[in-house]
Amino acid sequence: MFIRKKNFRLMGLAITFFMISGIYTSSPCIATELNSSTSNVKVGETQVKDFQRDIPSLAATYKDYFTIGTAVLPNQLDSSNIQSEFIKYQYNEIVAGNCMKMDATEPTENNFKFDDADKLLAYTQANNMKLRGHNLIWHSQVPAWFFQDKNDASKPASRDLLLSRMKNHIQNVAGRYAGKIDSWDVVNEVISDSNGLRDDSGNSKYKSIIGDVDGDGFDSDYIELAFKYAREADPKAKLIINDYGMEGSTRKRDDMYNLIKRLLEKGVPIDGVGLQMHVSMYSPSAQQVKDCIEKFATLKSIKPNFDIQVTEADMSIYNGNEPTKEVTNDIYLQQATQYKKLFEVFKEEAVKKNISTVMMWGEADCDTWLDDFPVKDRKDAPLLFDRNLQAKPAYWAIVDPSKVKGVFRQSVNTPKTTIAIGAAVDAKWSTLSSFDADNYVVGKNGAIASIKTAYDNDNLYVLADVKDSTVGDKDGIDIFVDKTGSKVEKYSATRTTNTDTIKTIDKADGYQVQFKIPFSGFTPVVGAKLAFDIKINDSVGNGEIASSAVWNDFSNKQDADSSKYGYLVLDADNKILETKYGIPTIDGNIDSVWDLASSVETNVLVEGKAGAKATVKTLWADSYLYVLCQVKDSVLDKTSKDDYQQDSVEAFLDENNSRGETYDADDVQYRVNYENKQSFNGKCDKAKFKSATKTTADGYVVEMAIPLKTPGVANKVMGFDAQVNDGTAGKRTGVLSWCDKTGKGYATMAKIGNIKLLALAGK
């Protein structure tokens, strides 16, 4: 949404547009297009006089699953504005992008302004749509007076004053629309980005001013009371606790889950959680989103109708802070693929009655807050329609994938290592990352698989771990490979195939197939890209194929040609750091025992410029993994308040090497800055963890003793990675790791490396 200031700035341009097109007046979208062309208005940007009225609406497409809506600005609903028709054509719910927030509804104490909000309500009533309320209590877009003493603005409001203001605000706003709002975001963004409830360091004053009113030992009372006031003001609306970042971060998800669980058990009237879903096309993965929804769905055991809502969905085309890029068709296709995966999860979860609504944060790309966030003036394209209100590939991918022109070709790394094919699955597979064949091209649910690949000079190895609970004659897998771009090869197996090159093993929830595909004549080199796809077929009863799920070509034309396959990118040897037995003293001095240890370098650039870099060594003994990082970093900086933006090293450990998309109970991340400040993520054993640091002539040294949850044994292989953060003047300017190039180790161990514990003679 554009902030109101921006709309004023654009008014002149909007009038210009009216004169040119002669059809529609002010629209933030089209005005923005004009703004981007200078004095010479380009024809292509101004010829759009209409949206597509002959394509399916999102609302109709998803009517059996969830309502689908968008955030709006009041002027978009003016009948003179094309958006007013477009929005009601495509969507069946709206939410105020800004005009129902506190700075809009109560700019000065007890002076309420409802014109804009009333306009939204009238629009929904006239068009048979739902209205979401966003939001009642938030630390942002709240006027300063709210937290100030009545007589002296330099003093904070007292607890009682702040509570009475909250109550008054909620009574007036939620009370005015009682019975007319489907769901209210009662509190917004109350979980901190680092730990627990947001407080003053996260710019929220509610917790410190109100604190623990009922003396139960928790200072979440402002949240509890906000819900109580909201229920009194509007007994019918679903009362939602809304936040961002829980889709990928299990830390934030767990904090929210624990808060809601405790409050539900206490009888606080929370009806659901809002997942904002401000995501990027790079992450989180569909599996992480699904895990997140299913975690919150377990709260139904306390409150059977507990609802999960997707409240502010958009999908940036950028990975973090990367600079402006041209929006190519390939980017559109990559985004479409990810949108398709997410909406498949949403549908699946709607069938389980876990989610009830999906709200987009903007009706089209011309109307997105991401044009200015997190990088000012970096134009983004995160929504389903383009800047001229035309359907993007992302729209078609979630409405009718057969109409997407082209398919994004995903790439996965395939490490070099020889694998044995046999009656049991080779243990080496556990050291490799997986990807999913879970795009249904036939049917809606049935069998999907997690895939791993490896190669050596002679063969390509594929392991498919298939989840399929219905046994049928035609259950099986097709693999498609085009090594040179000129010939499609197809390899098929059923769930009972057993040959020298294909072995199948039955499992309780499906089956596993190991393939050894000879290169015959093809010489693999590091960096080569093999076109590859895989299809998982499920048959039930009569032997017909009831569902097929693929990895890449969702147009399902694998047999015809390889132009829509993904790529296996042949990589260097699989990374496994051999770790000897030895016990160093953790004091920042490099004992001679470290001379025994093998070392690796953090050479993989994750983010920014290659700055600080480390040589990493590991040792183990019984219940500890020891890590030594010798960091080269010429200027040491810890000025940022965020631990991860300070000069620091991180160690990631996945003890059972399950490489899950979401942190499991054994996954830990330990971070230590150059002055030995520790920070944690995952189920870390803070009491047993030890670390020490020392600065050196050209950087610093970090020693860590990471407690193992299961004592180590010789030959055990665990997931492990090390990362160095380079802070410069308060910002993280470079990140290097040993293995994982995604920078997402804080959320998933899927792409980290490995360590193998070696036995010392006699041990």
What residues make contact with ligand 9MR under the rule CB under 6 A? 1, 3, 97-98, 140-141, 188, 244, 276, 312, 369
Residue 83 or 754: which CB sits closer to ligand 9MR? 83
The catalytic residue among 93, 312, 475, 726 is 312
Which tokens hold the place of 121?
């309500």
The catalytic residue among 182, 199, 224, 243 is 243
344 flagged as catalytic: no
Annotate 561-597 with three-state secondary structure: CCCCCEEEEEEEECCEEEEEECCCCCCCCCCHHHHHC
d(CA 264, CA 243): 17
CA distances from 219 to 45, 158, 264, 432 (A): 53, 15, 16, 44
Q: Quick count: other Cβ atoms within 10 Å of Cβ 236?
A: 10
Residue 618 CA, chain-centre distance (Å), reads 31
Q: Report the nearest approach of ligand 9MR to the CB of residue 301 (Å).
A: 29
d(CA 304, CA 139): 30
CA distances from 218 to 208, 221, 266 (A): 12, 7, 12
User: Which residue of this chain has its Cβ atom nearest to ligand 9MR in the complex?
Assistant: 1
Contact 696, 613 (CB under 8 A): no
Which tokens hold the place of 30?
């089209």
Torsion of CA 25, 28, 34, 35, to 10 degrees: 140
Q: Report the nearest approach of ligand 9MR to the CB of residue 268 (Å).
A: 22
Residue 276 or 316: which CB sits closer to ligand 9MR? 276
Contact 612, 726 (CB under 8 A): yes
Q: Report the nearest approach of ligand 9MR to the CB of residue 372 (Å).
A: 8
Contact 688, 709 (CB under 8 A): no
Q: Report the nearest approach of ligand 9MR to the CB of residue 13 (Å).
A: 19
Residue 141 or 599: which CB sits closer to ligand 9MR? 141
Residue 470 CA, chain-centre distance (Å), reads 31
Is the torsion defined by CA of 360, 363, 364, 368 positive or negative? negative
Query: What is the distance in angstroms between the CA of the first residue and the CA of the last residue of the chain?
Result: 63
Q: Report the nearest approach of ligand 9MR to the CB of residue 188 (Å).
A: 6
Find the DSSP H helices in 177-271. 206-210, 221-233, 250-265
Residue 312 or 538: which CB sits closer to ligand 9MR? 312
In sequence order, the β-bridge partners of residue 615 are: 601, 630
CA distances from 511 to 45, 451, 516, 705, 739 (A): 53, 12, 17, 39, 30
Residue 189 or 234: which CB sits closer to ligand 9MR? 189
578 flagged as catalytic: no
Q: Report the nearest approach of ligand 9MR to the CB of residue 273 (Å).
A: 14
Residue 359 or 550: which CB sits closer to ligand 9MR? 359
Q: Report the nearest approach of ligand 9MR to the CB of residue 514 (Å).
A: 46
d(CA 434, CA 658): 10
Which tokens hold the place of 741?
């190039």
CB-facing half-sphere around the CA of 755: CA atoms within 13 A? 30
The catalytic residue among 106, 189, 380, 633 is 189
Residue 138 or 594: which CB sits closer to ligand 9MR? 138
Contact 240, 273 (CB under 8 A): yes
Q: Report the nearest approach of ligand 9MR to the CB of residue 312 (Å).
A: 5
Residue 211 or 374: which CB sits closer to ligand 9MR? 374
Residue 94 or 600: which CB sits closer to ligand 9MR? 94
In order, the DSSP letters of 110-130 are: TB---HHHHHHHHHHHHHT-E
d(CA 433, CA 654): 13
371 flagged as catalytic: no
Q: Report the nearest approach of ligand 9MR to the CB of residue 140 (Å).
A: 5
Catalytic residue annotation = 189, 243, 312
